[in-house]
Structure 1
């Protein structure tokens, strides 16, 4: 096969591989793979204990040389069955799984960026960083009580987007952990060889009117109504009034409130689910084009093979920001 599975740096499982599937999504931090093995000679098996290093490599669509697709990875689960032929199912994650499964507490002073905070998380968990992407936006003070490192990191990235910065998603690559700016992939694939495509349009989750409130001040002991920083609307005449009330401690001015309100006004929610021959390098957060529309991948499922298939969930940039970075 044109895919290779290497365990512990040198043991080649490729001849035993029956299937490989991989999943990436904006609401998860670690790239995930499921690998199914058929074992004819158990004595040839290397150590598959959970915690063992593993990598998956393959030839990208339209290329000739193999590249790492999931590396560095770690075996998380190993399950075996034997009904004549021994089969082993491995669940594998890239090493960001440790940020998703670990908890801690952090106190961050204001004016740090998400990039600087990522450096702290990575240093404490001994995860190698790639070249640092400067997220630029200075964040407010943060007091993170016991919670997962991923939830803290994603809170930093959400605040960055809310404050007018770009949308970023963490990615583990062979170079190390990096912050990927959504839609910044150098090669934007056109999805024109479709097996199936489904379109969903709904008012569920739509917002046509936004009211942004200042943080409530109860220092005098009296309960008073929150100060309204701005009210904005779009599409209420056609779609009706679907109002969102936003209260954000980081929003201090009417100008900042106006910008934040505009981000919520997404109207009809439109998503696409596409099944197509596999392009194995497409990841969540990548931009693709479908029928002339530029869309972002919110989740990517790959069933690796020759050619293999992929299932992508797609949405507009505005919808992605509303769904993942504002709520």
Structure 2
């Protein structure tokens, strides 16, 4: 096969591999792999265990040499079955799984950027860094109590996008932990050899009116109505009123509230689900072209093989911003 699976930087498991699948999504931080091994007598299978280093390499689309696909990775779970022939099913993650599973507290000062905070998290958790662009947007003071490191990092990235900055997503690469700006991949692939295409159009999740409220205040111990900072609406005559209330301490001014409200307005929701021959380098957050539309990959599943298949969930940049970064 055109893939290699190496454990502990010394055990080549490739000849035992029956299937490999990969999953990536904008609402998760760690790249996930499922690997099934056929255990044959005399195969010399090493003693595999959770916590062991592992890597997956493959030949990217249009190239001839092996490149890292999931590296560095860690074996997270092993299930053994034996119904006449023995098989091992392994769940593998890249090493950002430790940020997704670990909790801590941070009190972070205002005027830091998401880039600076990411470097703090990575240093504390001894995670190597690759390319970290300057996210530039200065953030407010953050008080993070007993939550996962990933939830803190994603809160920083959401605040960056809410303030008008680009959308970023963390990725683990062979160079280290990096921040990837959504849609910034240098090669935007055109999806033209499709096996299946499903288009979904729905009012579920649509917002035609947004009311942005200031933080609740009390006067002489009595509750008073929230102060309205901005109200924006669009398409209520044709789609009806689907109102969203926003109460965000980070929104301080009427101008900021008005901008945020306009960004949240959305009519009919449209997404695409595509199954196609596999291109193993496509990750969540990449831009692709489908029928002339420039879309963002929200989720991707790869079933590796020759050629293998992939299933992508796609949407416009505006949809992705509202779904993942403005809520």
TM-score interval, smaller chain: over 0.9
Local SS of the residue matching 1:44: coil
1:203 aligns with 2:214: no
Q: What RMSD over aligned residues (CA atoms) do the two structures have, in Å?
A: 1.1
**Count of residues paired in the alignment:** 327
Structure 1 residue 237: deviation in Å? Answer: 1.8
CA distance in 1, matches of 2:190, 2:220: 59
Q: CA deviation at 1:40?
A: 1.2
The unaligned stretches of length 5 or more in structure 2 are: none
Q: Counterparts of 1:211 and 1:75 in 2: how far apart (Å)?
A: 47
Question: Does the alignment pair 1:183 with 2:183?
Answer: yes
Q: Is the aligned partner of 1:300 residue 2:303?
A: no
Matched with 2:280 is: 280
Partner of 1:96: 96
The answer to whether residue 260 in structure 2 is matched with residue 254 in structure 1 is no
2:6 aligned with 1:6: yes
- Between stretches 245-254 and 29-38, larger displacement belongs to 245-254
Superposed, 1:68-217 pairs within 5 Å as 68-217=68-217
| Whole-angstrom distance in 1 between the partners of 2:217 and 2:35 | 55
CA distance in 2, matches of 1:219, 1:289: 55
Cα shift readout 1:99-156 (whole Å, capped 9, x = no counterpart): 1111111111111111111111111111101122111111111111111111111111
Cα deviation for residue 228 of structure 1 reads 1.5
Q: Secondary structure at the match of 2:131?
A: coil
Offset of residue 223 of structure 1: 1.7
- The residue that corresponds to 1:218 in the other structure is 218
Please give the alpha-carbon distance, in whole angstroms, between the structure 2 residues aligned to 1:17 and 1:241.
54
Paired with 2:310 and 2:323, the residues of 1 have a C-alpha distance of 23
Tell which deviates more after alignment, 61-70 or 225-234.
225-234
Partner of 2:276, secondary structure, is: strand
Residues 1:244 and 2:244 are matched in the alignment: yes
Residue range with higher mean Cα deviation, 76-85 or 111-120: 76-85
Q: What is the Cα deviation at residue 42 of structure 1? A: 5.5
Matched, 1:318 2:318: yes
Alpha-carbon deviation of 1:65?
A: 1.1
- Give the TM-score, by structure 1 length: 0.97
Cα separation, 2, equivalents of 1:290 and 1:89:
34
Residue matched to 1:16: 16
**In structure 2, distance between residues paired with 1:27 and 1:47:** 33
Task: Quote how far apart the aligned CAs of 1:85 are.
Answer: 2.3
Q: Name 2:232's counterpart in structure 1.
A: 232
Q: Identify which range, 140-149 or 212-221, moves more after superposition.
A: 212-221
Give the C-alpha shift of residue 202 in structure 1.
Answer: 0.5
Q: Any stretches of 5+ residues in structure 1 without a counterpart?
A: none
C-alpha displacement at 1:219, in angstroms? 6.2
Secondary structure in structure 1 of the residue aligned to 2:223: coil
Secondary structure class of the residue paired with 2:199: strand
Give the structure 1 partner of residue 290 of structure 2. 290
Describe the SS at the equivalent of 1:51: coil
SS in 1 for 2:192: coil
